[in-house]
Amino acid sequence: MLVTIAALAFLFLPLAVVVLFSFHSSAGLTFPFEGFSLQWYEEVLGSEEFRSAARNSLVVATATSVVTLLLGTLTAYGLTRTSSRWRVPLTLLFFLPVTLPGIFVGLALLVYFSELTITLSLLTVLVAHCLFVFPFFLLIAHAALSRTDPALEEAAADLGAGRWAVFRRVTLPQVWPVLLGASALAFALSFDEFIITFFVVGPDSTLPLYIWSGLRRNTDPSINTVSTMLLIATTVPCLIAYVLTLRPRSRGSASDLKTELEASAA
Amino acid sequence: MSTGQAAAGPLAVLHRRLHAGPLLATAPATIGFALLFLVPIGAFAVYSFLTAGLFDASGPLTLANYEEVINSDVTPELATNSALVGLFTAVICLLIGFPVAYFLRFSAGRYQILILLLFVVAMFASYLVRIYAWRTVLGPQGVINEALLQLGITDSPVELFLYSRTAIVIALVHILLPYVVLVLFAGFRLMPASLLEAAQDLGAGTVQRWRRVILPAMLEPAASAFLFVFVLAAADYVTPQFLGGPGDAMLGVKIEQDVTATGNWPRGAATAFLMVLGFLLVAAIVSALLRLRHRGRRRGRYRVAT
């Protein structure tokens, strides 16, 4: 237990320091703390550079989570319902982007886009994010879809329902909270992605890139503020995902993100 | 899934209706992955054999990039730094992750869900913010140095922590520990509590239980956690830039420089491929060790009835 508490302290205290200093009334990053102020928030929110980075991050993360939700659900459905010999090689393919280092994937995409003379833009960032986020979504969606009772789908098909009707009226009602939760996680992952984004971003900026340039400028107290906002932007989808996946299912089996993660990691 | 192969009559029709076409549902993602992932990696492989221009490359195919990287004076140091950082980070993550995951599985009780949630939240907490946070904490005017100064332990800020390999490893452990905890926890979930009770009843102490029961059964999750952390830590290019000293550069930093600063993309590509080759080698060694051990001791393994 002591190790667990120490590990949690180790994980959260440095982040707490950043959050605390984002409210500091002076520019110093040293204790003693001189007083609370929202001046850095005012400064950051007023900056056009920050606002466009935040807008870009929001647009890309939303698009990523929508594309992943649609393609990922289709893919997880296909992979869990087929007995084809392509099932295993396809699954391996879809998990490849997280097994390869981000710098490798980012550079491969950069070279590819440049050979095809595709201008780097938020669209190329979207492509990179979808690739990166897809395995995480698939992991959770696959676990959820493979634990539904096949008898229900068979019964519906037996009663004359077409494949689409079976999916929409029988399968989807059992798993949609988990799918939405997974897509919230996709949003969080995309919102924070830096390693691959750095290579394919072009002239636009995203929030992590904004922080990266702040890191290069050395001590700039407004980075604390942007960091705090970035932390909130990843924590909130995480909590949403947790709540959504904690909802009891129609069949009474209380399942949650934890079990999804475990089932898929096992 | 009840896929009765020899089902006849209406049941067969039913099965066809349910199982014949689902593979098609994977088509959009498969096409996307082929065009935007597999082809780029193939093109990237070819690219690593091209002759370098400035921020581009052209034919004919050559081995010069690989030769240059392998024969370069800096490569051994960069590769050693990457391997050491990967190794230290992975080992420390496992050393912390094991007791935490064990506690979560067997003794956390009603706090289990809350603690797991905290680790999930920590897993998703921003990558760059953590690097920034550690620079703030470890810096010359950071929290640790201020505390040391005020307690009178030192007279001037200690540069011991920041800009060192220690700082890089601390930040990477911070970033990757939640993954390790969750993977090991998933491994422990498959271990029946009765197994440990049996070991205890038979008189095994804590050390014996860990050495003879827990660790042998947890080798596979531990190996996958190790590889995952090793690759992500060793390939990192941001942490060494902001937390490492001049001698702590890693392979990723060199690749990034070739892409952004020197504009030698084919050399960056060759370095990236050699790095991935190194990771494959490490993965092969780890899985060979696992197999060797499996063959060596069949006894003492349990079956999970799920």
Mean of pLDDT values over A248-257: 42
- What is the domain-level CATH number for residue A162? 1.10.3720.10
Q: Which residue of B has its CA nearest to A157?
A: B14
Residue among B169, B146, B189, B148 nearest B239 (CA): B169
CB contact under 8 A, B269 and A189: no
pLDDT at position A61 is 97
Structure tokens at B36: 């935007």
Three-state DSSP string of A168-190: HHHHHHHHHHHHHHHHHHHHHHH
pLDDT at position A247 is 55
Residue A114 pLDDT class (50, 70, 90 cuts)? very high
B274 touches B70 (CB < 8 A): yes
pLDDT at position B3 is 44
ipTM score? 0.87
The range of the structural domain enclosing residue A112 comes to 55-265
Q: Comparing B205 with A9, which gets the higher pLDDT? A: A9
Q: Is the pLDDT of residue B171 over 80?
A: yes
Lowest mean pLDDT among A66-75, B33-42, B47-56, B282-291: B47-56
Mean of pLDDT values over B111-137: 92
pLDDT at position B9 is 67
Chain A contacts in chain B segment 154-173 (CB below 8 A): none
Q: Comparing A117 with A242, which gets the higher pLDDT? A: A117
Structure tokens at B196: 């440990």
Structure tokens at B106: 């067997």
Is residue A9 domain-resident? no
CB contact under 8 A, B14 and A157: yes
Residue A255 pLDDT class (50, 70, 90 cuts)? very low
Q: Which residue of A has its CA nearest to B10?
A: A158
Residue among A218, A244, A148, A129 nearest B36 (CA): A129
Give contacts of A238 with chain B, Cβ < 8 Å.
Answer: 120-121, 124
Distances in Å between the Cα of B7 and the Cα atoms of A151, A163, A174 are 15, 20, 27
Residue B2 pLDDT class (50, 70, 90 cuts)? very low
Is residue A139 domain-resident? yes
Q: Name the residue with tokens 């001049």.
A: B246
Q: Is the pLDDT of residue B51 over 90?
A: no
Provide the 10 A C-beta neighbour count for residue A262. 20
Residue A157 pLDDT class (50, 70, 90 cuts)? confident
Give contacts of B40 with chain A, Cβ < 8 Å.
Answer: 108-109, 111-112
Is residue A246 domain-resident? yes
DSSP reduced 3-state for B244: coil
Is residue A187 domain-resident? yes
Lowest mean pLDDT among A154-158, B151-155, B188-192: B151-155
Is residue A83 domain-resident? yes
CB-closest option in B14, B186, B252 to A265? B186
Q: Is the pLDDT of residue A58 over 90?
A: yes
Mean pLDDT of chain A: 87
Q: Comparing B90 with B17, which gets the higher pLDDT? A: B90
Q: Is the pLDDT of residue B306 over 70?
A: no
Q: Is the pLDDT of residue A253 over 50?
A: no
Residue among A142, A162, A153 nearest A74 (CA): A142
Is residue A123 domain-resident? yes
Q: Is the pLDDT of residue A260 over 70?
A: no
Lowest mean pLDDT among A80-94, B6-20, B204-218: B6-20
pLDDT at position B213 is 86
Q: Which residue of A has its CA nearest to B108?
A: A1
Upstream peptide bond of A208 is cis (omega within 30 degrees of 0) = no
Report the range out of A60-69, B40-49, B246-255 with the highest average pLDDT: A60-69
Q: What gap in Å lies between CA A152 and CA A170, rounded to an integer?
A: 7
AA letter at B108: A
Residue A259 pLDDT class (50, 70, 90 cuts)? low
Task: Give the minimum alpha-carbon distance from A181 to chain B in angstroms, rounded to a whole number.
Answer: 13
B189-234 per-position pLDDT tens digit: 988 888 888 888 888 888 888 888 889 889 999 999 999 999 999 9
Is residue A125 domain-resident? yes
Q: Comparing A28 with B194, which gets the higher pLDDT? A: B194
pTM for the complete prediction? 0.88
Query: For chain B, which domains are there?
Result: 80-295 (1.10.3720.10)
Is residue A16 domain-resident? no
Q: Is the pLDDT of residue A248 over 60?
A: no
DSSP reduced 3-state for B58: strand
Q: Is the pLDDT of residue B5 over 70?
A: no
CB-side exposure of B172: number of CA atoms within 13 Å?
35
Residue B127 pLDDT class (50, 70, 90 cuts)? very high
Residue B23 pLDDT class (50, 70, 90 cuts)? confident
Q: Name the residue with tokens 């008189």.
A: B203
CB contact under 8 A, B137 and A17: yes
Domain count along chain A: 1
Q: Is the pLDDT of residue A250 over 50?
A: no
Q: Which residue of B has its CA nearest to A132?
A: B37
B185 touches B101 (CB < 8 A): yes
CB-closest option in B25, B37, B126 to A78? B25
DSSP reduced 3-state for B306: coil
CB-closest option in A11, A86, A192 to B177? A11
| Phi and psi based region of residue A13 (left: phi greater than 0; alpha: psi -120 to 50; beta: remaining) | alpha
Residue B58 pLDDT class (50, 70, 90 cuts)? confident
CB contact under 8 A, B133 and A158: no
CB contact under 8 A, A134 and B231: no
Longest Cα–Cα distance in chain B: 88
Sequential DSSP letters for A221-236:
THHHHHHHHHHHHHHH
CB contact under 8 A, A100 and B44: no
Q: Which of B95-118 are b and which e, b meaning 16 or more Cβ less than 10 Å from the residue's Cβ?
A: ebbbbbbbbbbeebeeebeebbbb
| Contact partners, residue A236, CB within 8 Å, separation at least 6 | none
Distances in Å between the Cα of B130 and the Cα atoms of A10, A185, A198, B123, B228 are 11, 19, 17, 11, 19
pLDDT at position B71 is 93
Q: Is the pLDDT of residue A141 over 70?
A: yes
CB contact under 8 A, A29 and B141: yes
Upstream peptide bond of B60 is cis (omega within 30 degrees of 0) = yes
Q: Classify residue B14 as exposed, middle or buried by CB count within 10 Å of its CB (0-12, 13-18, 19+).
A: middle
Chain A contacts in chain B segment 250-279 (CB below 8 A): 252, 255-256, 259, 265, 268-269, 272, 275-276, 279
Give contacts of B261 with chain A, Cβ < 8 Å.
Answer: none
pLDDT at position A149 is 86
CB contact under 8 A, A82 and B142: no
Distances in Å between the Cα of A247 and the Cα atoms of A178, A181, A255, B25 are 9, 11, 7, 27
pLDDT at position A265 is 55
Residue B160 pLDDT class (50, 70, 90 cuts)? low
Is B143 at the interface with chain A, CB within 8 A?
yes
pLDDT at position B167 is 93
A235-245 per-position pLDDT tens digit: 999 898 888 87
Mean of pLDDT values over B253-269: 92
Mean of pLDDT values over A132-161: 91
Mean pLDDT of chain B: 87
Mean of pLDDT values over B240-268: 92
